[in-house]
Amino acid sequence: MATAEDSRTGGKRDAGHTPGWLDRIRATPAGRLTLRIVIGVIGTALVVAGLIMVPFPGPGWLVVFAGLAVLATEFSWASRLLEFAKARVRAATDWLKRQNWFVRIVAGALTLLCAAAIVWVSVRLTLGVDLIQEAGELLS
C-alpha cells in the first residue's frame, strides 16, 4: 500500500520492489498531482459525508475514519490526524473498560438515549411525524 511518504519521495522504493499501478502513476509529475487531487477529493468527500452522518445512528465516525485513511495515503497531515484520533478513541475505550458495570450501563444508556432523541427529532422535522405520539396512540 502506498503511503504519504512514498508520494513525497516520488515513489522511490528499494530495488526488490515491483512497481504497482500507483507507482506507475506517481512516476510522472502530472500523475503525482492528479493522484493527489483524486485522493484529496475522495477522502474529503468521505470525511464530510461522515461528519454529516455523525449525529444519526449509523456509521458516521467509521466513514470519517475511512476518509482520513484515504487522505493519509497521500498527505502526511492526515496520517498524523488519523493516528491522533485513533489514540483518543483507544484511550476512551480503555477508560470505559476500566469502569465498573454501573458506569458502563449509564454510558450505554446515555448513548442510546442520544441516538433515540436524534432519530425522533429527525423524523419529526423531515416527515412531520411525532413517533412518541404515534406510539402512544398505538398502545392505547
Q: List average pLDDT for each run of 10 residues in the chain, which is 140 residues long.
A: 52 61 83 91 94 83 94 94 93 94 94 86 88 87
At residue 16, the pLDDT reads 60
Question: Given the C-alpha cell 483518543, which residue does it identify?
Answer: 88
At residue 95, the pLDDT reads 94
Distance CA 74, CA 37 (A): 9
Bin 18: left if φ > 0, else alpha if -120 < ψ < 50, else beta: beta
At residue 17, the pLDDT reads 61
Q: What is the pTM of this model?
A: 0.64
At residue 14, the pLDDT reads 54
